[in-house]
Structure 1
Amino acid sequence: MHPKLSIIIPCYNYGQYIEETVHSVFASTYENIEVIIVDDGSTDLYTIEVLNKLKRKAKVTVIRRENGGLAAARNTGISFASSPYVLLLDADDLIESTFIEKGIELLESNKNYSYVYPLVQLFGEKNKTWITLPFNFFYLKFRNYIPATIIIRRSSWEKVKGYDENMREGYEDWEFLLRLGKKGLFGARINEILFFYRKHSGSMLEDSKKKHWILKKRIRKKHPDLYQFYFIQFIVFLFIELFRRITGKILKFDL
């Protein structure tokens, strides 16, 4: 019996995209799934209409809550999940049909991995491949190279008490991965394009990038233990980054 997986899809006024997102989920080669859509206080009437239609589908649950931001919506969805594995997916993105199958297979065969992430294909206003890097926790402290869409053990989410709901301006996924890493809960890359990220104006990521340095400083302030001797660590990171750009490989290093 294949273990069950819950797909958590936060949605705020994304009715124009979410049906395509759900369709990509049900095109999956992995059948033992449930879909939990968290309506984060949508005000758009079309979105509400679409969600009312989707909740009539088998294996789909729609949870409505007051607007609390992406982190709160993800936590709400995961708390309702009845599965040992969870896939985080935004309401405007898509997955490749074999992503869940390959992700579960990797996690089931490697108990040391807490989550998996793939290579990413951008589409929409920009079309390019995002070559995510093999997991390296030191490197992750300085660059968020892992997409928010991951397949994770629910038990790992529980161990760090979920996403920080105070991080409403963005980078909540990065901060979540750092807290996982502090507990020795690491990820693994699937070296295939299995996730499709829609680039469009008005997305939360685009807004977060405008506040990049503010949010990055907030993360450092929240985790001073990770950033002791910051200047020295940053110099080491720059060396690793230079080496990566020259060789295409990422050095393993811990500090």
Structure 2
Amino acid sequence: MISVIVPCYNQAQYLAECLQSILSQTYSDWECVVVNDGSPDHTPEVVNGFLKLDKRFKYIEIENGGVSHARNVGIKESKGKYILPLDADDKIGPKYLELGLRAFNKDNRLKVVYCEAHFFGTNNKLWSLPSFTFEELLKNNIIFCSGLFKKEDCVKVGGYDTNLSIGLEDWEFWINLLKDGGEVFRIPEVCFFYRIKELSRNSRISEDEFEEALKYISIKHSNMYVDYFGSFQSLLEKNRELTVENIRLKKINKLSLVSMLKKLKIYING
């Protein structure tokens, strides 16, 4: 029923913990497709141990083509009705697949099911996620990459966009998947654990690369952004109004500070 897709590039040191979290699921009707994205480390040795341990694990080796390509290859080779992408350095709680499938079975309008999340690694705390609305999704990526969705829906939108090779591919995927409607449900339980490292793919993205990715997403989904936020002229006007309001508030705060200092001076001087 569920195919977990694990792309891996230079993450062998974390991979066993990731795969063990899949093996520990309370729901048993799953397969895990590990896609070695041309990784030069000891990924094959790590995966081989799990292949011997459980036949539900599958392994594919490809030339390095980026995480979007690796996920697409894994999804194409998968047999499950539902897909869960999982990066090789992250892990899931034991009930994630069970609770995710339960949600889909309760509501056939659902397109995406995800959960509460927790950071671990160099930072350990609850991940405070805003409530989902599609408008908010257009502004920020408010769903982490490891959400459950139907394979048929993924195929309809063409999978992950391989043009976004440096990042933001999961954000664009959610926009693409949900732009024509569909419900989203967040499981009220922590079932996803996102590893924080000193060096990660996201931390290596330069400001220019990030801006180029944003431009690409904006152009690709320009009709959607115009529908929700208006023309560039209306955005400029809103920005001007916000600037004027900020200036007004700064003046008020400055006057308040001056008034407070005067009162403090009078108090100190008796």
- For this structure pair, what is the TM-score category when the shorter chain's length is used for normalisation? 0.7 to 0.9
- Cα distance in 2 for partners of 1:209, 1:30 equals 40
> Across the two proteins, how many residue pairs are aligned to each other?
233
Alignment partner of 1:52 is 2:53: no
Please say if residues 118 and 132 of structure 1, whose CA atoms lie closer than 8 Å, have aligned partners that are also in contact: no
Structure with the bigger percentage of helix: 2
One-letter amino acid of the counterpart of residue 104, structure 2? L
- Cα distance in 1 for partners of 2:82, 2:37 equals 22
Deviation of 1:171 after TM superposition, in Å, equals: 0.4
- Cα distance in 1 for partners of 2:8, 2:108 equals 31
Residue of structure 2 in register with 1:68 after alignment: 65
Residue of structure 1 in register with 2:31 after alignment: 34
Pick which of 202-211 and 136-145 moved more.
202-211
- Cα distance in 2 for partners of 1:12, 1:34 equals 20
User: In structure 2, do the counterparts of structure 1 residues 25 and 209 end up closer, same or farther at CA, with 3 Å as the change threshold?
Assistant: farther
Residue of structure 2 in register with 1:187 after alignment: 184
Matches within 5 A, 1:220-239: 220-228=218-226, 229-230=230-231, 232=234
Pick which of 206-215 and 55-64 moved more.
206-215
**Deviation per residue, 1:213-237 (Å, 9 max, x gap):** 332222101211012225546959x
Please say if residues 42 and 48 of structure 1, whose CA atoms lie closer than 8 Å, have aligned partners that are also in contact: no
- Cα distance in 2 for partners of 1:183, 1:19 equals 38
Deviation of 1:51 after TM superposition, in Å, equals: 2.6
- Cα distance in 2 for partners of 1:121, 1:37 equals 23
Deviation of 1:208 after TM superposition, in Å, equals: 4.1
Residue of structure 2 in register with 1:244 after alignment: none
**Deviation per residue, 1:101-136 (Å, 9 max, x gap):** 111100111111111111110010111211223320
Please say if residues 119 and 127 of structure 2, whose CA atoms lie closer than 8 Å, have aligned partners that are also in contact: yes
Please say if residues 122 and 196 of structure 1, whose CA atoms lie closer than 8 Å, have aligned partners that are also in contact: yes
**Deviation per residue, 1:174-209 (Å, 9 max, x gap):** 001111122223422112211000001332232347
One-letter amino acid of the counterpart of residue 194, structure 2? Y
How big is the alpha-carbon RMSD for the aligned residues of Structure 1 and Structure 2? Answer: 1.9
User: In structure 2, do the counterparts of structure 1 residues 69 and 199 end up closer, same or farther at CA, with 3 Å as the change threshold?
Assistant: same
Pick which of 48-57 and 157-166 moved more.
48-57
One-letter amino acid of the counterpart of residue 86, structure 1? I
Pick which of 168-177 and 133-142 moved more.
133-142
Residue of structure 2 in register with 1:148 after alignment: 145
User: Taking structure 1 as the reference length, what is the TM-score of the superposition?
Assistant: 0.85
Alignment partner of 1:205 is 2:202: yes
Deviation of 1:36 after TM superposition, in Å, equals: 0.5
Residue of structure 1 in register with 2:214 after alignment: 216
Residue of structure 1 in register with 2:95 after alignment: 98
**Deviation per residue, 1:31-85 (Å, 9 max, x gap):** 11111100001112x2232233333232110001111100111111111111101
Q: Compare CA radii of gyration and give the structure with the larger one.
A: 2
One-letter amino acid of the counterpart of residue 90, structure 2? D
Alignment partner of 1:163 is 2:178: no
**Deviation per residue, 1:152-175 (Å, 9 max, x gap):** 111111110101111101000000
In the alignment, structure 1 segments of 5+ residues that lack a partner are 240-255
User: Taking structure 2 as the reference length, what is the TM-score of the superposition?
Assistant: 0.81
In the alignment, structure 2 segments of 5+ residues that lack a partner are 243-270
User: In structure 2, do the counterparts of structure 1 residues 233 and 116 end up closer, same or farther at CA, with 3 Å as the change threshold?
Assistant: farther
Percent of residue pairs identical: 36
